Amino acid sequence: MIGKIKDWPNEGENGMRWTATNPATNTVIGEAEETLPEAVEGMYTVARRSFGVWAGLPLSERIRYLCKLRLTLVEEMNKIVEMIKASTGKTAVEALTTEVMTVIDSISHIEQRAPLALRTKKVKTPITLMGKSSYIEYKPRGTVLIISPWNFPFQLSMIPIVEALVGGNTVILKPSEVTPMIGILIEQLFEQAGFPEGVVQVAHGGKDTGAALIEGQPDYIHFTGSVPTGKIIQTEAAKRLIPTTLELGGKDPMIVFADANIERAVQGALWGAFNNSGQVCMSVERLYVEKSIYAEFMDRLVQEAGRLKQGTSLEDDIGSMTFSKQVRVVKEQVEDALNKGAVLAAGKHPDKWEEGHMFIQPLIITNVDHRMKIMREETFGPVLPIMAFETEEEALALANDSRFGLNASVWTSDIERGKQAVSRLVTGNAVINDVIITVANPYLPYGGVKEGGIGAYHGDVGMQSFCIQTSIMVDKGTKLSEVNWFPYEGKYEAFAELIRSFWGRKRSWRSFLRAYRRITAKK
Ligand code: NAD
């Protein structure tokens, strides 16, 4: 029966134990003990004590720790891949490239870039504030709570952790209860890399643990997960005025113009829709193909989809679904589309899915429209619905007709045309002639718009988002008064002249200085 696989938590002697199951084999791979709400206060005490030590280290020293972490990850990559595979059912190549390699690359980027991104920055001071200098300083926020999902349990925990750490914060991670062994692995890796105790702690459990951690008043929350949970987290954070970043859902469009490299676009669509069994926030979930190439595109797509290998060996392309609940969501959306007139062009009809089976054969669906859930709601499974379009206007309107705005792609041999199309898409990320991949460039900020999320991480802004920005101005303090201080008597007309001469139609440096002297004479 679909849904029997994760039957947790189990009650233990002193609380709940979360059983981790390999979704591809339905075998138990371990157990994690739930962090009880009573333990949360102690975790914050430890985190705040460690903050004193960690934030006090020079940036170069924190980077040295991150370098040791990177080397540990390289040494342990096979072990990490095995645990990710067993926890999620994804293929080894995907575990290695989209989880382990991405994290290693992000750490390497931070090692190089943090000294620039987090250094104190001098900025200009306008002439009206003459005699002063200005700069921005980045300081750690304190203890950051990171709440992560199950689809990329390693990457989506580790990248925010290392970005928070480099800024001098301590971290409490609450990984998904669906993949608890990854939280345990992360704890071990930080210990192995020699991080000071208490700098990174992991709390195990589900929504109750997450809620208790928010009640504990972290200094910042970085959340990755679904829109409904994001709304709860934002509400709870707002009650306590805790700043947040929310990385949420997607329903990403792919637009293929007639002048695109069709072979490449076909392969891109298959990978974009079916990698990680489609359980990617930036999966291609809506494909719009120009009518004049639609028939040829469809033929090739269906043919190539038939070549994909599903399983868990090193040669396989598509692994299993991770979470039985998600299988039900996918089934429900596909059934809704088929009931409303959609046509299954490839893949097994949901009526024939074996209950409890976590491998969904990739589905290609035609005759869809925007009334169907499959074109409106996040599917998060290996499903590719396709529509034909006639004009660019129509394609862009269809792509923008969504609550989400995480990523989008445009395929054309005319790069200028691609850039113009992308400029008209309401999206946090966009790719021309590729899919998803912006997230792999650590120099680019990553975040969604609309229900795709609020805020961004990755890139310089990511490191900065985990910091307090203090804007500072310095005056030598030698003058007795300032032009804008009391008394105001006789200053109004002089200020009005200063504004006219400096920002008005007839700009005059001489009039500006005359007005300035008049004001200073009033002191
Ligand atoms: P989810 O929202 O169910 O859970 C995410 C995390 O929130 C889990 O750790 C869960 O235990 C915790 N949680 C749930 N309720 C909570 C509460 N009330 N208080 C505190 N914590 C709570 O999401 P999921 O099913 O694990 O992940 C899939 C979703 O994540 C999809 O919608 C996907 O699009 C999204 N996602 C987004 C990105 C991105 O970068 N934008 C990346 C990956 C996944």
Q: Decide if 11 is catalytic.
A: no
Q: Decide if 247 is catalytic.
A: yes
Q: What are the structure tokens assigned to 162, written together?
A: 């290392």
User: Same CATH topology for 37-248+459-470 and 252-440?
Assistant: no
Q: What are the structure tokens assigned to 316, written together?
A: 């396989």
Rounded distance, CA 234 to CA 244, Å?
A: 7
Instruction: Give yes or no for residue 150 CB within 6 A of ligand 1.
Output: yes
Please pick, among 34, 76, 163, 247, the residue that the annotation labels catalytic: 247
271 neighbors 252 (Cβ within 8 angstroms): no
* Single-letter residue type at 204: H
Query: How many CB atoms neighbour CB 332 within 10 A?
Result: 14
Instruction: Share the mean pLDDT of the chain.
Output: 96
Query: Which residues, at least 6 apart from 128, have a Cβ–Cβ distance to it below 8 Å?
Result: 498, 502
Q: How far is the CA of 250 from the centre of ligand 1 (A)?
A: 12
CATH fold group of domain 37-248+459-470: Aldehyde Dehydrogenase; Chain A, domain 1 (3.40.605)
> Residue 259 pLDDT more than 50?
yes
In percent, the amount of the chain with pLDDT more than 70 equals 97
Instruction: Give yes or no for residue 448 CB within 6 A of ligand 1.
Output: yes
Q: How far is the CA of 227 from the centre of ligand 1 (A)?
A: 8
The secondary structure of residue 288, as a DSSP letter, is E
- Look at residue 364 in the predicted model and tell me its pLDDT: 98
Question: Relative to the CA of 147, which ligand 1 atom is closest?
Answer: 9
Instruction: Give yes or no for residue 210 CB within 6 A of ligand 1.
Output: yes
Q: What are the structure tokens assigned to 122, written together?
A: 């001098």
> Residue 13 pLDDT more than 70?
no
> Residue 488 pLDDT more than 90?
yes
What is the chain's alpha carbon radius of gyration, rounded to the nearest angstrom? 27
- Per-residue pLDDT tens over the stretch 456-476: 999 999 999 999 999 999 999
Question: Relative to the CA of 230, which ligand 1 atom is closest?
Answer: 2
Instruction: Give yes or no for residue 447 CB within 6 A of ligand 1.
Output: no
Rounded distance, CA 262 to CA 83, Å?
A: 37
Q: How far is the CA of 208 from the centre of ligand 1 (A)?
A: 13
- Per-residue pLDDT tens over the stretch 25-79: 999 999 999 999 999 999 999 999 999 999 999 999 999 999 999 999 999 999 9
Q: What are the structure tokens assigned to 238, written together?
A: 């707002």
What's the number of CA atoms in the CB half-sphere (13 Å) around residue 402?
33
Query: At 6, is the pLDDT very low, low, confident or very high (cuts 50, 70, 90)?
Result: very low
Taking CA atoms only, the protein residue closest to ligand 1 atom 23 is 225
Rounded distance, CA 89 to CA 87, Å?
A: 6
Instruction: Give yes or no for residue 249 CB within 6 A of ligand 1.
Output: yes
- Kindly state the average pLDDT of the residues 359-383: 98
List, edge to edge, every strand of the sheet that includes 10-12: 10-12, 15-22, 27-33
Q: What is the DSSP string of 179-212?
A: SHHHHHHHHHHHHHTTPPTTSEEE---SHHHHHH
Which segments of 353-489 are extended strands (E)? 363-366, 383-389, 404-405, 409-411, 431-432, 449-450, 453-454, 467-475
**In the CATH scheme, what architecture does the domain 252-440 have?**
3-Layer(aba) Sandwich (3.40)
Rounded distance, CA 21 to CA 6, Å?
A: 7
Residue with tokens 């990984």: 175
- Look at residue 193 in the predicted model and tell me its pLDDT: 98
Q: How far is the CA of 382 from the centre of ligand 1 (A)?
A: 19
Query: At 357, is the pLDDT very low, low, confident or very high (cuts 50, 70, 90)?
Result: confident
CA dihedral defined by 375, 376, 382, 387, rounded to 10 degrees? 10
Query: At 3, is the pLDDT very low, low, confident or very high (cuts 50, 70, 90)?
Result: very low
Instruction: Give yes or no for residue 435 CB within 6 A of ligand 1.
Output: no
Query: Which residues, at least 6 apart from 182, have a Cβ–Cβ distance to it below 8 Å?
Result: 83, 84, 87, 153, 154, 157, 175
- Look at residue 18 in the predicted model and tell me its pLDDT: 83
Q: Name the residue ranges covered by the structural domains of the chain.
A: 37-248+459-470, 252-440, 481-521
Closest CA to 425 of 254, 179, 242, 169: 254
Taking CA atoms only, the protein residue closest to ligand 1 atom 13 is 207
Query: Which residues, at least 6 apart from 187, have a Cβ–Cβ distance to it below 8 Å?
Result: 200, 201, 202
Q: What is the DSSP string of 71-131?
A: HHHHHTHHHHHHHHHHHH---HHHIIIIIIIHHHHHHHHHHHHHHHHTS-EEE---GGGTT
- Look at residue 10 in the predicted model and tell me its pLDDT: 66
The secondary structure of residue 350, as a DSSP letter, is G
- Look at residue 5 in the predicted model and tell me its pLDDT: 38
Instruction: Give yes or no for residue 453 CB within 6 A of ligand 1.
Output: yes
* Single-letter residue type at 384: L
411 neighbors 257 (Cβ within 8 angstroms): yes
